[in-house]
Amino acid sequence: MVPMPEAFDAVDVIVAKRDRRELSDAQIRWVIDAYTRGVVAEEQMSALAMAVLLNGMTRREIATWTAAMIASGERMDFSSLQRPTADKHSTGGVGDMITLPLAPLVAVFGVAVPQLSGRGLGHTGGTLDKLESIPGWRAALSNDEMLAQLDGVGAVICAAGSGLAPADKKLYALRDVTGTVEAIPLIASSIMSKKIAEGTGALVLDVKVGSGAFMKNLDRARELAETMVDLGTDAGVRTVALLTAMDTPLGRAAGNAIEVSQAIDVLAGGGPADVVELTVALAQEMLAAAGRGGQDVAAALTDGRAMDAWRAMIAAQGGDPDATLPVARHAETVVAPTSGVLSRLDAYAVGVAAWRLGAGRARKEDPVQAGAGVVMHAKPGDPVRAGEPLLTLHTDTPERFERAIEALDGEWEIAPAGTSIETGPLILGRVARD
């Protein structure tokens, strides 16, 4: 049989975007479909991604691009559930383990949380890598298992199946190696295609801003948030975004098991104040977007209800909530050289250090070390004393210490005692189409 001729030529599409012209809906639908089929070559898509990064896309182009990525795969359907659904997505940061306490916390209030999560790549951690440090826990669930868990426990954190937005999987891997990750239209369509295909009724986006985030300044973060909120709203998903600070790590740990342990502290009513603040704020937004607002969310962290939901969620996926978490075989401490107040601790540097210690991976197929990472004994604004620990570095492979310490060199500062440190708010803004 003679193959059907293709509707467009990839070079014409690339040239149009290179020359700052708007792509038609038909061109966009074709290019995404033909790329998924392997007809548009990797080098052609990489040229197009670079043209998009340099020249941008209109709101219509982004919406069509997102819809085409959704159409490249399956859509999930939670309409058989008796409760509303709400999900959260973070654009990625250092020490960001908020999903772990957040999903069970929201489930306490009768809203189901279908949290499809990813693995870490580069300096930002991945939720699945963190949870896999719990003995027995498994990330891969079938759609039926996921639905059953949402019906019973009310919360599930698992890997997205390969059928969800396959065009994005291919394109994301390509962007990662062609310097085109940072394009706002591509980030927004990548995140929202997966979230819309997942079928959640409500979505809260945590758009990180600062050195440890993709978006280094507030204007670009707001533009990304607005683009994603528009995409979600137009697709019928109640979508809200919070803009949150990521100049310094969240919480006091960056790694896998050490972040799980911190999440358990939060679920037990303790934990670092910034993690609690953000968990409560995101839970309130998720509940409001799902039509269950106005609840005393913080109480469920202190009275054990969120912990009960966590234990049920972990056990439902084969994990042992009582198991001792893995501890790295070696530790090295960075001590404060002088007394004073910690005035700066850079999020990106801590993320890179944790990554180099083995908490993250350099290539997708690399294993991660469950116990590796950085524990922070002080955060900006805290007093420190000469000779006392500032950071503890953990790894199973001590030859990694040198490069991890190098990453931290010059990335923290101590001001004289009594200096007042302006740490700034954690929540920098909110974007919604109310």
Could you give the residue numbers annotated as active site? 89, 168, 175, 190, 194
CB of 109 to ligand URA, least distance (A): 27
Residues 55-94, mask of contacts with ligand URA (x by CB under 6 A): ------------------------------------xx--
Q: Enumerate residues 189-228 that contact ligand URA by CB under 6 A.
A: 190-191
State which residue, 149 or 190, has the beta carbon closest to ligand URA: 190
Q: In whole angstroms, how close is the CB of 81 to ligand URA at the nearest point?
A: 24
CA-to-CA separations, 161 to 145, 204, 323, 352, in angstroms, rounded: 12, 21, 27, 28
SS3 404: helix
69 and 193 Cβ atoms separated by less than 8 Å: yes
Binding characters for ligand URA, 89-128, by CB under 6 A (x = yes): --xx------------------------------------
Residue whose pair of structure tokens reads 């973070």 in the numeric block: 90
Place of tokens 């009724």: 201
Shortest Cβ 183–ligand URA spacing (Å): 8
User: In angstroms, what is the minimal distance from the CB of 172 to ligand URA?
Assistant: 6
* Helices assigned H by DSSP within 238-342: 257-267, 273-289, 297-302, 305-316
Question: Which residue, 279, 72, 287, is CA-closest to 194?
Answer: 72
- Amino acid of residue 294: G
Q: Please name the helix (run of DSSP H) or strand (run of DSSP E) that holds residue 413, with its range, or none.
A: strand 412-415
Taking the complex as a whole, the smallest distance from the CB of residue 87 to ligand URA amounts, in Å, to: 13
# binding residues, ligand URA (CB under 6 A): 7
Say if CB 240 and CB 285 are below 8 A apart: yes
- Euclidean distance between CA atoms 154 and 144, whole angstroms: 14
Which lies closer to ligand URA via its Cβ, residue 31 or residue 390?
31
Q: What's the CA gap between 235 and 201, in Å, rounded?
A: 10
Tokens of 116: 């499809």
- Distance of closest approach, residue 91 Cβ to ligand URA, in angstroms: 6
- How far apart are alpha carbons 130 and 125 in whole angstroms? 8
- Which one, 191 or 347, has the nearer CB to ligand URA? 191
Which residue, 191 or 353, has its beta carbon nearer to ligand URA? 191
Nearest to ligand URA of 187, 359 (CB atom): 187
User: Which residue number, 49 or 267, has a Cβ lying nearer to ligand URA?
Assistant: 49
Q: Considering beta carbons, is residue 91 or 115 the nearer one to ligand URA?
A: 91
Whether 126 and 119 have beta carbons less than 8 Å apart is answered as yes
Q: Which of 65/172 has CB closer to ligand URA?
A: 172
Q: How many CA atoms lie within 13 A of 185 on its CB side?
A: 21
Phi, psi of 182 (to 5 degrees): -75, 0
Give the Cα separation of 238 and 291 in Å (integer). 10
Minimum CB–partner distance for residue 191 and ligand URA (Å):
5
Would you say 251 and 97 are in contact if contact means Cβ atoms under 8 Å apart? yes
Residues 136-195 that bind ligand URA (CB under 6 A): 172, 186-187, 190-191
Cβ-proximal residues to 37 (8 Å cutoff; 6+ apart), any chain: none
Q: How far is the CB of 227 from ligand URA (least distance, A)?
A: 12
Under 8 Å between Cβ of 52 and 188? no
Determine if 50 is a binding residue for ligand URA (CB under 6 A): no
Distance, CA of 97 to CA of 16 (rounded, Å):
42
3 state DSSP class of 210: coil
Closest residue (Cβ) to ligand URA? 190
Q: Which residue has the tokens 């998903």?
A: 237
Binding-site ranges for ligand URA (CB under 6 A): 91-92, 172, 186-187, 190-191
